[in-house]
Amino acid sequence: MTTAPVRPSAESLAEFRSTVRQFIADHAPGVVAREGHRAPVDAEQEAMLRSWFAKLFDAGYVGADWPVEYGGRADYHPLRDRIVSEEILRARAPRPVDQVNLAAHVLLHFGSQEQKQTLLPPIRRSEHVWCQLLSEPDAGSDIAAVRCRGQRQADGSWVLDGQKTWITDGHWADMGLALIRTDPSSSRHHGLTVFAVPLAAAGVEVRPIRTVGDAIEVNEVFLNGVRLPADSVVGEPGQGWSIIMTGLDYERFGIGGNVILLELLIDDLITLAKAGTVDGVPALQCGDIREKLSELAVEVEVAKAYIDDHVERMIVGADEVGDGSIAKLSFAETYHRVSAYGAELAAATVLDGPSDSAAHGAKQRLRECWLWSRAYTISGGSSEIMRNILAKRRLMLPSR
């Protein structure tokens, strides 16, 4: 990535925030972001989302940290990334697909010159949405338990076979970043290779999975004799584990960077408590409700404080191994606790007034956030995996 320039002044950051906020107001599509309902539901909505993402790239608000020769900004600074993310979330506008960010950084770090020239421009034009073909049945978040096979052919091409599952955005993605076992004698982290897989290739079958929130966000993907050319390999054969781990570090911090969602949850809790009643008593007058809201607000501030601290250390190059995992774990677990209480309060609270009121909207969002909250504790590596990573890499504890 490009080296960050001198820290922008508070005045310039405030001006940048104002510009981003106005850009979102002028260009965001008429699609309100909903947790657990982020994928497009039809062709019209998909076209709107792709156009919106392309505009963010064109404006330099997304992909600003790429090298300048591939479209990045010479004045890139991580604090501007944070502002863009915050303003998109606060506006409840659709946010860019996380998997695209992971794929782009993998290509920038490990892709060949030809791969960068061929695959990066369609990402910026939003012609290519990417997904991650990592998780497999019976393996959960243990992505080292790869059973999908890749066999090299005499002409240098590869044939892939196997099944991937819980693939976010697979049903509308154009490309997939696949982790495949190419050494049949290997096990665990060894003998793995990363491939760039066109999802329109012969032998690729995508089967959507409907979630508990009655949405299609994740999918099963079957690879049935998928033949790919030699230049589909990203990096070198056998380098797959280190490549994917590098990419996941970006995703894990990206998930943690969504900490502003926690603020929105607290805002919805307060809106609901102010407007509703519980057992005939205004909810905000109930001592146990006020106490719980205060406790959760403190938890949110702790998560935000860690993210703020990590960004500051990242800027000066003082970030440490495992910081991305801590960010991801802190966000995911806090989100689940806050949204779980939100669903509980929504079930207990009686609301009067029109169904399109702010309180009714908050009530619906809290329910949807709770239904989606477990996905955050799993995607990008489960909370259990995050704790194992921290134990081994941060605390240097021995494996059993």
Give the residue numbers marked as catalytic: 251
DSSP 7: P
Helix (H) or strand (E) holding 152: strand 149-152
CB 203 within 8 A of CB 226: yes
b/e code 124-133 from CB counts within 10 Å (16+ = b) = bebebbbbbb
Q: Terminal CA-to-CA distance of the chain, rounded, Å?
A: 37
Spatial distance between the Cα atoms of 50 and 48, rounded to a whole number of angstroms: 6
Q: Tell me the three state secondary structure of residue 141.
A: coil
Q: Which of 336, 353, 335, 331 is nearest to 272 (CA)?
A: 353
Length of the chain: 400
Q: What angle do CA 381, 386, 392 make, to 5 degrees?
A: 130
CB 85 within 8 A of CB 327: no
Q: What angle do CA 7, 8, 12 make, to 5 degrees?
A: 170
What number of other Cβ atoms are within 10 A of residue 157's Cβ? 14
Sign of the Cα pseudo-torsion (258, 178, 118, 238, in order): positive
Sign of the Cα pseudo-torsion (263, 267, 270, 276, in order): negative
Helix (H) or strand (E) holding 126: none
Token reading at 243: 């490549």
Spatial distance between the Cα atoms of 188 and 87, rounded to a whole number of angstroms: 41
